[in-house]
Structure formats: structure tokens, C-alpha cells
Copies of this chain bind each other. A is one copy, B any other.
Amino acid sequence: MSKPIIRVGLSKEPVSLDDVAARLARETNGLGAGSLVVFMGFVKGVVDGYKVNTLSYEAYEDVALKKMEEIAREEAAKWEKTYAIWIIHRIGVLKPGDPTIYVFVVAEPRHKAFELASRILDRVKHEVPIYKLEAREDGEYWILGDHTRVRRGEELQEAEKR
């Protein structure tokens, strides 16, 4: 089988799902592929009952890209009938409803495409050095790790008291 189409990126602009889907369908159907799974994350307008104004993403860019590519290659290697994996993460200041991350997987059979997309997303969220600052109506929060929101400035004030 030919090598899967792998692409990773950090993007300040949104990505056209139509363009990517058309391209992947065009380039993989001749190999016997017919299943594309796309995950698109978008900024929640409400978190913990508070209105969100913006969500700002920053990446440690070189390492983030290297890690995203590593994840894509490792996951592609786990299943032979993987035809394409694209991972694009947004950076910059985003508003509610704006796309934050895109994962595209073409694989057969379709259940494998779902499984791969889901696992890739988990890995990207946990392994790639990308950081969020959530600006809500009740203040700004750094988001760290799986669950933790640290109110901006609070941790620093506590550190100063130590």
C-alpha cells in the first residue's frame, strides 16, 4: 500500500472542510478508501454557567508540530488501511463557535476511521504543548491538564505569599 497522506499544522485561519474533504476523497478513492471522519472542535460559548468571550491558544510551535507529526505517523502505522491523517490546530484569539482543531482521518473500514480520529484527538490534547487562556464574564482562566482552571493572577498571588 502507498504511504498515507499525513499533514499537520498550526493555523491562525480557519480551514475549509470542503477543500480538505474533496482533496482527500480524490486522492484516496483509487486506493480503495471510502470513509472520512472529521472532528472539528469549536469554542464553547458557555462554560460552568459563565459566558465565554474569547479562548486564546498559544503553542510551543516547533515542538507542537513535531509532536503532532509523531502522533499522526504512529497512529497511521498501527493500522494498514489508513489512507490519510491531517491534524490542524488553531492558534490565536478565538470566539465562541470558532473552530479550534480539525482532525481528518481516511481509513477502512469506517469503524477504524472513528477509532483513529478519536485516539488521535486524545493524544493531541494531552501530548502537544498547546495552552489555552479562557476569558469569561467572571474572569480569565488558564487551562492546564485535563481539568484544571487556574484564575489568571491568583496562582501568582499565592506564589508570592509562600
Contact = CB atoms under 8 A, between A and B. Distances in A.
Interface residues of A, number: 38
Interface string A14-34: 001110011001100111111
A159 interface: no
A9 interface: no
Contacts of A91: none
Contacts of A46: 29-32
A99 interface: yes
A34 B44 contact: yes
Interface stretch (A35-43, A58-66, A68-76): A35-43
Contacts of A151: none
Contacts of A43: 29, 34
Contacts of A32: 44-47
A17 to B, nearest CB: 4
B39 A39 contact: no
A5 interface: no
Interface of A: 16-18, 21-22, 25-26, 29-47, 96-100, 110-111, 113-114, 117-118, 121
